[in-house]
Chain A
Amino acid sequence: SDLKVGFLSTLSGGGAGLGVDIRDGFLLALGEAGADDVEVVVEDTQRKPEVAVQVADEFIQREEVDVLTGIVFSNIALAVVPSAVNQGKFYISPNAGPSQLAGRGCHENYFNVAWQNDAMHEAAGAHANDAGYESAFIMAPNYPAGQDGLTGFKRFYEGEVVSEVYTRLGQTDYAAEIAQIRASDADVAYFFLPGGMGISFLKQYADAGVDIPLIGPGFSFDQTILPAVGDAAAGVRNTSEWSPDLDTAANAAFVESFRAAYDRTPSMYAAQGYDAAQLLLSAMETADVSDADAFREALRAAEFESVRGAFRFAANQHPIQDIYVREVVERDGVWTNVVVGPSLQDHSDVYGADCDL
């Protein structure tokens, strides 16, 4: 085969759903392209950075892969990526874009096809302005991505932040925070609570009968989560670079074939995995990986039709793309998102300024 890919992701335990979706999207694209010149080795990182480092070592030292991809979480990416790209391997990020790797720590072999972490938060801030919310209550877990998230929101939000609350990572009960939201009398509550935390919060928020509207980044309203939240999320606005109903030809085909292959609606993660594979395939058409410089140029060109429409790389090899506002609706008995409109167009991150590529 011409190209060997090491796919490492969280495939067991908590958070496995995201990794599984990325993998399924990725393999779907390869399958559709009939790419038998690409060999993929898949391994589980159990959501543990130490294990991921180990797996990466194995991919590089034993499997001698050319490209690594698959990681879901920022902290794992931070553990794996720097040393992998320093050893001359390519890394394509199908999810997670920590600021460190977009700014000073950017690298010529690191490509992000998803987003820089702040993108959705920034878009949410912009959306809050557009919607005319003059005061906001903002909340996130107390960890770096949470802190970055709120910073991102505040970067674009022009109204008043009445209260900024940090919850515990993995917290399950939000009664105290909900009481604070109710008492804050803000125009809007912005929250970033990925995974199960978001599910718990949304259910409890709906049950508490608070009438302050919510907005959030797409993570908390993803297809992996919505079925479990149900009508508690109905009508909530959220921001994402992709949506299943996004009106592009490539997307319609992708959603259909994903449904056919896996019998479920794809998530944002699946779409990103799909795009990561497409990026690789597009580069292979013009260059061989044995010529690293040429291959890098081919990647940079990003000559593929992204499921999210227009897509290109900024100088720091992170996306320049549109971020949309979506709304949660029930469609054909499935809770999902529909695009309401764009929030930010041709958006790229602020960290690129520190990157000297």
Chain B
Amino acid sequence: MALLALEGIEAAYGASQALFGVDLALGAGEVVALMGRNGMGKTTTIRVACGMMPARAGRVTFEGRDITRWPAHRVARLGVGLVPEGRRCFAPLTVEENLLAAARPGPWDRASVAELFPRLAERRDQRAASLSGGEQQMLAIGRALMTNPRLLILDEATEGLAPVVRQEIWRAIARLKAETGLALLVVDKSLKELARVADRAVILERGRTVWQGGMADLGRDVTDRYLGV
């Protein structure tokens, strides 16, 4: 049984429809890359999956349970952690408070996050608003980890990070996958790195799933056609 599955999802912002039929399935411990050009609906898909936005049609299930109409906080409590597009750290709170706000029991705590991002530990009492862009990105990842998720959703989580840090994160992701069986749904622009960690890919085009398959099967023709690389 899939951990998270989306079937025929349609969704709209007011009058303008953004998703026209998205299908996606993700097994326990699996890493799936969600791909597509700008504005094709990746973020919208994630918002629907997390309960932050209602689906107009279609079904979202988690371990077989229908969670289509669940509010975001209940979905999160099932073990879905989100690193949202644009970071969205709690600006007036300190780094420490940002982490505490999200904390739920499990192996990830302030100490282990500090180990992953030593930078954050240095800036512990600084307000998130005055962090550098990259530091905020680290904080957003750390905050999602603090909820000790089973499924971690990363929407452009490496945007704005220095190459070494980015590489560090990808290595960490690979390790998490291997060691803890954490499942991941990843949106990222770097094909090269996705290819290294992802098991499968789902490609969106104008709000529809147009291709899915193993990462290894993702040929030149597909990427040219849908990703314009």
Q: Is there a direct interface between A and B, measured as CB atoms under 8 Å apart in the complex?
A: no
- On A, residues with C-beta under 8 Å from B are none
- On B, residues with C-beta under 8 Å from A are none
